[in-house]
Amino acid sequence: MRSLGLLLLSLFACFGLQAQDTYLHCGKMIDTESGKVLNEKTIVVSGNKILKVENGYVSPSNAQDKVIDLKGKTVMPGLIDMHVHIEGETSPTKYLDAFTKNDADVAFDAANIAKRTLMAGFTTVRDLGGTGVNVALRNAIAKGKIPGPRIFTAEKAIGTTGGHADPTNGRKKDLMGDPGPAQGVVNSPADARKAVRQRYKNGADWIKITATGGVLSVAKSGQNPQFTQEEVNEIVSTAKEYGMKVAAHAHGVEGMQRAIKAGVATIEHGSLMDKETAALMKQYNTYLVPTISAGKYVAEKAKIPGYYPEIIVPKALEIGSKIQDMYSMAYKEGVNIAFGTDAGVFPHGENGKEFRYMAEAGMPAMKTLQSATITNAKLLDMEGVLGVLKEGYVADIVAVNEDPTQNISTMENVVFVMKEGVIYKN
């Protein structure tokens, strides 16, 4: 790609032409490396990269270049959400969709959701479990066929028989069958190894496991451990051999600790974490993805009769309401925090609310922004590529009306979106 870019520049030079650059005049700019808000900056974008960042409002010397006036806005790197489910969305009919929607229906829904996510300022997401449509969607977006965020996907999450990621939970017996590693259901270390390899074969970027029960699965427990230590050890070691990291959904302490000891990169939710588990996360350098938005949403919707199946309601009321307080404790204990929302459990496009919830629980506004940019870029092995407004970085750039360090709620209304140098919202 770099060779092609140099060739094009050479051709432009030979014929006396110049590629059009874009000059963004930024009233304020978030420097995610220093954690400072800088005033009056010009970001020059050439192709899909940031060419340079200059002081003041610099005018282009080439008449073909374009100037975008963001003098009244605060500009920052494109946002990264480390926990979404881009194939679908919450609704009272969600549990019937598996029986009524074809893959094509899911794909069209996902394409709409992808665009909505991008318009909310999230230029990169990590999709943590679907049917496999998420792989095709990732590829379509990467090839420029449809608009959407850059996707890192886990394809189908891995669980145990009857566990949170068993797709047949709640069905009548003649529809349950006995799904195995190909479907992401395991019951031994050998199964675990096969399931990881199958995800790799299917095109996954990450592995996602359900280390404990879940709130929204049609099963009784939302917190019991669901893998043996040997099984989760095998998952993590096999994933490492195939160049993948592991994310672990976990609410209860025992399942969380098994996953941490096995070497997972992230714990998703962590709802019932205690200080002992927080210390273990620090010891193993494990990141917490708190998904406060999802916890608040399910706790509220569980109060509406019929919104969720009856077996889910007590779990949602008990666990969902605890995530924000747990997150506050974990942050104070020094646990590494990565920004993630669990969008899909609540409506996509409302991802920006997570910033406010994190700030309410005690994290300074600037650190919430860093968690969704430079921190998440590091977790995705995209350091030097994403998460910073700096020469040579990919031109993923968003803007909001106010300074989020003064009013974090402004993150719920992103007004400018550029991804890879292309303006999608202005």
At residue 178, the pLDDT reads 83
C-alpha 296/C-alpha 293 separation (Å) is 5
Residues in CB range of 251: below 8 A, 6 or more apart: 212, 213, 214, 215, 222, 223, 269, 270, 271, 272, 319
Domains, the chain: 2-77+387-425 (2.30.40.10), 79-379 (3.20.20.140)
Tell me whether strands 414-419 and 397-400 are parallel, antiparallel or unpaired. Answer: antiparallel
Tell me whether strands 21-31 and 36-46 are parallel, antiparallel or unpaired. Answer: antiparallel
At residue 10, the pLDDT reads 47
DSSP 8-state symbol, 157: P
For the segment 168-213, what is each residue's pLDDT rounded down to a tens digit? 888 878 787 888 899 999 999 999 999 999 999 999 999 999 999 9
At residue 16, the pLDDT reads 42
Tell me whether strands 185-186 and 159-160 are parallel, antiparallel or unpaired. Answer: parallel
Is this prediction's pTM over 0.75?
yes
At residue 11, the pLDDT reads 45
For the segment 264-282, what is each residue's pLDDT rounded down to a tens digit? 999 999 999 999 999 999 9
At residue 69, the pLDDT reads 98
CA distances from 144 to 48, 85, 139, 149, 351 (A): 13, 21, 9, 11, 23
For the segment 350-359, what is each residue's pLDDT rounded down to a tens digit? 999 999 999 9
CA 338 to chain centroid? 9
Spans of the chain below 50 pLDDT: 1-17
CA distances from 354 to 6, 199, 344 (A): 41, 29, 14
At residue 368, the pLDDT reads 98
At residue 3, the pLDDT reads 44
At residue 15, the pLDDT reads 42
